[in-house]
Chain A
């Protein structure tokens, strides 16, 4: 069935270092890959997304890469700050329909 695997489950980095979170999807028809940040007690917030016709997208300190052949996509956060600490979820989707979410990565940025 449709599945998204996400690694690592927890990640601790020193402030200023980079963080990388990786996801693998199973449905080859997936064409949209959003990343969400979820803080305690809040709903997920979209931080960046990528479509299947693009290999990389960057927005300030955040970038996402997509390898369609391997069905892998990754989130890269550079120059991490304490406010980046949260749970991050990747997801895969076909068009306008349901998202299949990964299991989440708890990122801790140590000051």
Chain B
């Protein structure tokens, strides 16, 4: 089991550009959550995808959007990049089946380090 994988590992963009980050969930998981982790801070929830729909969203502007594919993999898109978007972007997968005892557990990938210049 490869666990949660993310690509790319690192990315450098300039202000105003757009970026797409990718995530493949752990085998058997159907739910993907995205978090932004600024340097020295805890992860901040961006949104969660389940059954190809956004199920919940944190306090992030519409510049942040996502998608989930039928194979449960997911993309995070950020438009009109700002310097403040520089961060580690983490993807976490879990089982979204309601009532499952294990469904609370989220397993994180290694993250994508985005630098905006």
Residue numbers of A with Cβ under 8 A of B are: 4, 6, 32, 34, 36, 41-46, 49, 51, 89, 91, 93, 95-104
Contact = CB atoms under 8 A, between A and B. Distances in A.
A4 B45 CA distance: 13
Interface of B: 4, 31, 33, 35, 40-45, 48, 55-56, 58, 90, 92, 94, 96, 98, 103-111
A19 to B, nearest CB: 18
Closest 8 CB pairs of A and B: A101-B42, A43-B108, A98-B45, A32-B104, A43-B110, A44-B108, A96-B103, A43-B111
A99 B106 contact: yes
A98 B33 contact: yes
Contact of B58 (A6, A49, A98, A102): A98
A11 to B, nearest CB: 15
Contacts of B98: 96
B45 A44 contact: no
Given A95-B104, A99-B106, A103-B42, A43 B90 contact: yes
